[in-house]
């Protein structure tokens, strides 16, 4: 399927994720766990006698270069999730997909502030910075999507999703140091077909999906159109407005036109449009942690001064009291043209694409019902253009090759706005010793903190521009040195150039640009133009051996780079409240990756067990950090000297009969800062007067002196659970000509840190989620009831600390229990 070549034809690793055959092929795909065989058509499992012994499952196969290849023979850690499994588990976006993949992490406080990680690597945990590079490549039908926020659309008419773990830079157009997610939609068909799916559930959940494909000119021209509409009521109640927030309101459409110019030359023109207008995203009171700020400047005293209390101190009561607008509207889409020309010994591929992303947010960034920060928004517009050419050998010669060229340009324009309210002075400034903790009296006025006019209306208008150009030449060989033993070296030459502009104009409530020290300490004017450019060479080599047709082993070493970045969220300030220009850029990450893998099937291929062990040393790791300034809302980028991520993974499945199958995946991940001696401090070591010279900082959580920085060497990295699992099973019984089935899918994550520097108050406890489904299917019809998060597990997706070291910790809770039903029908 020409429109669906998501990466360079992977001749060298025997991995192919697409087909160049224009008409749909019955491609077998493994379920999220690597073993259950499904087809492209939902609900096509046929009833069989209860005592039937299943034949050997069909090979888990994807096709490209007009030949089939078994995914089990691919010498890398790879998982394929079929469209059927996505529908059955309700995984209709990247956030839901992570529940099926233990080594995949997705973090999002809103669509713009989203990050996709694999094995804990990819993007730094924390708020997004426009100048950061992604370490996990996200591909939609072969087109690289330049930022995680633009990949948060609903999956529409998906055939399968492939998750590849580890560096992929010598085979992908864009360099990817941590892995890749490959979304493949269904291709146009020369046989008329249609699909329809409708779901409904509690909280007014409604989701409708439909697609249709047909020939326009027999064997020459075919079209496919797909649409999706999702809506859901809110799961959090805002007592101030009386509305339920965290709503979903999504629409997606995709069209494809396939032209088979000759038997050897085909083109696919594709376009998609996605609109999301949810009433989200809110974080609110989770807990309070002691800091080193004076007690009359910590949360309890500040709240008492305003006679303020949150509507609940139990975050799972799901109530908040927003006093600012809330929105997360985004629009995204693009067009692509993919061509394939089979010239006999090789196939030439071209992928041309243009995409855009519009982000129009509104937030309550003080996380309370008080008018502290009344506006904090960064509406953003992105466009990207990419062109990829590649040539890959056909057939199974002893020496296979792939070579490619990739060009990419991305432009982002952001108009940021932050406005302080009448409560900001008291909340952010020092009221002085004459004002007792908890006192609401501010007469006589002894400090600017007791004068609301000092910060009320203080406004920072930020104009941010970013231009990112990337060019790469890459290639990989696959040499069968002797029978069943392959040597697969790869090489990449990469050039990146980034330029940006950050201009922050700050005015007082009266419109003046003349600021006093207190005002400048909260919102400081900044103007700088960061630049970064560099060439780098990366490469990898894989040795693989096929012991038997069902036992395969491999060993990989990769030296990879993630491009340097520029800070485009404002810089930290020096003692005079001037921006520190040396922090305007961050150095490239350098990755040494080692991996050993074993892929096995036995018991007539009814049992699959795949193992992988990996070790990554990353130097100059790009981290998102914060500092002790009172008014800093967003973090900035910095380099950690050395981090290490290592672990082991397993994927397994067992199908003892045609009636029953079971799977289990797991990962152990050990991720630490090996050397980061000058990191920002956690909340309990922040907020006090900075210690100098021989002064000794106060104990954690004790008001007094704070360290200028903290040595977090040896501490755990944020966002990474040491243990994570996904598991499930399905049992069916014949009923008439069809089946009644009961399915279960579960996942577990152990606790993880939600702060760049480890904090005793910023851990998210481990949690498990359980999903059930019960239904009936026959041929092209499937109806089932489902319940997700069946035991109503209370858990946070992330925690954040309120700026200013007040001690307030806010959280974003995961979805509560949901239930409903789905009907699918194919024609």
Q: pLDDT (tens digit, 9 = 90+) per residue, 237-296?
A: 999 999 999 899 999 999 999 999 999 999 999 999 999 988 888 899 999 999 999 998
Task: Kindly state the percentage of the chain with pLDDT values over 90.
Answer: 59
Nearest-angstrom CA–CA distance, 450 and 517: 16
Report which secondary-structure segment, H or E, holds 418: strand 399-420
Report which secondary-structure segment, H or E, holds 97: helix 94-97
238: nearest Cα among 334, 351, 323, 360: 323
**CA-based max dimension of the chain:** 89
**pLDDT exceeds cutoff 70 at 440:** no
Q: Residue 432: pLDDT band by 50, 70, 90 thresholds?
A: low
What beta strand segments (E) does 549-635 contain? 551-562, 565-566, 585-586, 589-602, 607-625
What is the pLDDT at residue 26? 29
What is the pLDDT at residue 635? 61
Contact 793, 768 (CB under 8 A): yes
pTM for the full predicted model: 0.88
Q: What is the mean pLDDT of the chain?
A: 85
Nearest-angstrom CA–CA distance, 578 and 519: 13
The three-class DSSP label of residue 577 is coil
**Going by C-beta distance under 8 Å and a sequence separation of 6 or more, which residues neighbour residue 217?**
none
What is the pLDDT at residue 58? 54
- Residue with the larger pLDDT of the pair 69 and 20: 69
Contact 303, 807 (CB under 8 A): no
Domain boundaries, the chain: 2-420+457-826
Report which secondary-structure segment, H or E, holds 87: helix 83-89
Nearest-angstrom CA–CA distance, 76 and 69: 14
**pLDDT exceeds cutoff 90 at 573:** no
Contact 613, 620 (CB under 8 A): no
The three-class DSSP label of residue 96 is helix
Task: Kindly state the percentage of the chain with pLDDT values over 70.
Answer: 88
**pLDDT exceeds cutoff 60 at 140:** yes
Nearest-angstrom CA–CA distance, 437 and 429: 14
What is the pLDDT at residue 33? 30
End-to-end CA distance of the chain: 21
Length of the chain: 827
Nearest-angstrom CA–CA distance, 313 and 373: 21
Q: Fold for domain 2-420+457-826?
A: Maltoporin; Chain A (2.40.170)
**Going by C-beta distance under 8 Å and a sequence separation of 6 or more, which residues neighbour residue 522?**
420, 424, 428, 429, 455, 458, 630, 631
Nearest-angstrom CA–CA distance, 600 and 522: 59
Nearest-angstrom CA–CA distance, 434 and 403: 72
Cβ neighbours around 627 below 10 Å, total: 18
> Which residue blocks in 193-306 are alpha helix, DSSP H?
299-305
Nearest-angstrom CA–CA distance, 635 and 415: 17
The three-class DSSP label of residue 631 is coil
Contact 538, 175 (CB under 8 A): yes
What is the pLDDT at residue 266? 96
């Amino acid at each position: 399927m020409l429109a669906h070549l998501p990466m360079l034809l992977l001749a060298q690793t025997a991995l192919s994720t697409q087909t160049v055959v224009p008409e749909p092929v019955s491609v077998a795909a493994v379920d999220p766990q690597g073993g259950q065989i499904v087809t492209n058509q939902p609900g096509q499992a046929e009833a069989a006698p209860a005592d039937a012994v299943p034949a050997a499952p069909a090979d888990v196969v994807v096709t490209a270069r007009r030949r089939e290849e078994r995914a089990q023979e691919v010498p890398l850690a790879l998982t394929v999730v079929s469209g059927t499994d996505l529908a059955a588990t309700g995984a209709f976006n990247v956030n839901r997909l992570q529940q099926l993949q233990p080594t995949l992490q997705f973090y999002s406080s809103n669509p713009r502030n989203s990050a996709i990680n694999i094995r804990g690597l990819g993007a730094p945990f924390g708020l997004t910075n426009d100048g950061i590079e992604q370490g996990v490549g996200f591909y939609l039908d072969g087109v690289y999507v330049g930022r995680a926020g633009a990949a948060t659309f609903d999956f529409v008419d998906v055939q399968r999703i492939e998750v590849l773990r580890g560096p992929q830079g010598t085979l992908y157009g864009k360099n990817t140091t941590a892995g890749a997610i490959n979304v493949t939609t269904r291709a146009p068909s020369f046989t008329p077909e249609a699909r329809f799916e409708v779901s409904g559930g509690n909280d007014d959940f409604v989701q409708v999906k439909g697609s249709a494909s047909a020939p326009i000119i027999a064997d020459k021209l075919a079209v496919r159109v797909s649409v999706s509409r999702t809506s859901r009521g809110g799961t959090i109640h805002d007592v101030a407005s009386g509305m339920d927030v965290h709503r979903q309101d999504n629409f997606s459409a995709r069209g494809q036109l396939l032209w088979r110019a000759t038997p050897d030359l085909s083109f696919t023109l594709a376009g998609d449009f996605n609109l999301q207008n949810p009433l989200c995203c809110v974080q609110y009171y989770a807990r309070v942690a002691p800091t080193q700020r004076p007690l009359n400047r910590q949360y309890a005293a500040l709240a008492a001064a305003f006679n303020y209390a949150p509507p609940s101190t139990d975050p799972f009561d799901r109530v908040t009291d927003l006093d600012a607008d809330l929105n997360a509207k985004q629009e995204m889409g693009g067009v692509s043209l993919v061509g394939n020309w089979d010239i006999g010994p090789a196939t030439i591929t071209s992928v041309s694409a243009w995409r855009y992303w519009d982000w129009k947010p509104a937030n309550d960034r003080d996380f309370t019902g008080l008018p502290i920060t009344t506006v904090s928004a960064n509406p953003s517009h992105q466009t990207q253009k990419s062109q990829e050419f590649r040539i890959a050998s056909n057939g199974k010669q002893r020496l296979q090759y792939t070579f490619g060229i990739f060009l990419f340009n991305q432009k982002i324009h952001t108009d940021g706005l932050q406005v302080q309210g009448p409560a900001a002075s008291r909340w952010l400034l020092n009221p002085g010793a004459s004002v007792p903790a908890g006192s609401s009296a501010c007469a006589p006025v002894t400090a600017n903190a007791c004068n609301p006019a000092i910060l009320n209306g203080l406004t920072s208008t930020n104009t941010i521009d970013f231009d990112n150009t990337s060019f790469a030449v890459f290639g990989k060989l696959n040499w069968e040195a002797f029978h069943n033993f392959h040597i697969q070296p790869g090489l990449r030459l990469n050039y990146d150039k980034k330029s940006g502009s950050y201009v922050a104009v700050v005015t007082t409530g009266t419109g003046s640009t003349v600021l006093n020290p207190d005002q400048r300490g909260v919102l400081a004017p900044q103007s700088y133009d960061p630049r970064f450019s560099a060439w780098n060479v990366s490469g990898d080599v894989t040795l693989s051996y096929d012991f038997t047709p069902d036992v395969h082993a491999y060993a990989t070493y990769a030296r990879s780079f993630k491009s340097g970045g520029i800070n485009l969220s404002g810089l930290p300030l020096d003692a005079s409240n001037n921006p520190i220009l040396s922090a305007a850029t961050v150095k490239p990450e350098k990755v040494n990756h080692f991996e050993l893998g074993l892929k096995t099937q036995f018991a007539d291929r009814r049992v699959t067990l795949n193992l992988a062990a990996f070790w990554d040393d990353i130097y100059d790791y790009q981290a998102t950090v914060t500092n002790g300034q009172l008014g800093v809302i967003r973090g900035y980028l910095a380099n950690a000297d050395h981090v290490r991520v290592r672990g082991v993974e397993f994927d397994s499945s067992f199908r003892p009969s045609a009636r029953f199958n079971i799977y289990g995946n797991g990962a152990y991940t050990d991720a630490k800062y090996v050397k980061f001696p000058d990191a920002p401090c956690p909340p309990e070591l922040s907020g006090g007067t900075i210690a100098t010279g021989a002064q000794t900082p106060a104990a954690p959580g004790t008001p007094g002196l704070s360290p200028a920085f903290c040595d977090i060497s040896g501490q755990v990295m944020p966002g990474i659970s040491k243990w994570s699992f996904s598991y499930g099973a399905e049992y069916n019984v014949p009923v008439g000509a069809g089946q009644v089935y009961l399915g279960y899918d579960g996942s577990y994550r152990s606790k993880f840190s939600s702060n760049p520097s480890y904090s005793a108050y910023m851990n998210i406890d481990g949690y498990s989620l359980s999903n059930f489904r019960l239904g009936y299917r026959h041929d092209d019809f499937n109806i089932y009831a489902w319940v997700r998060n069946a035991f109503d597990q209370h858990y946070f997706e992330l925690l954040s600390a309120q700026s200013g070291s007040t001690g307030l910790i806010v959280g974003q809770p995961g979805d509560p229990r949901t239930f409903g039903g789905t009907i699918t029908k194919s024609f």
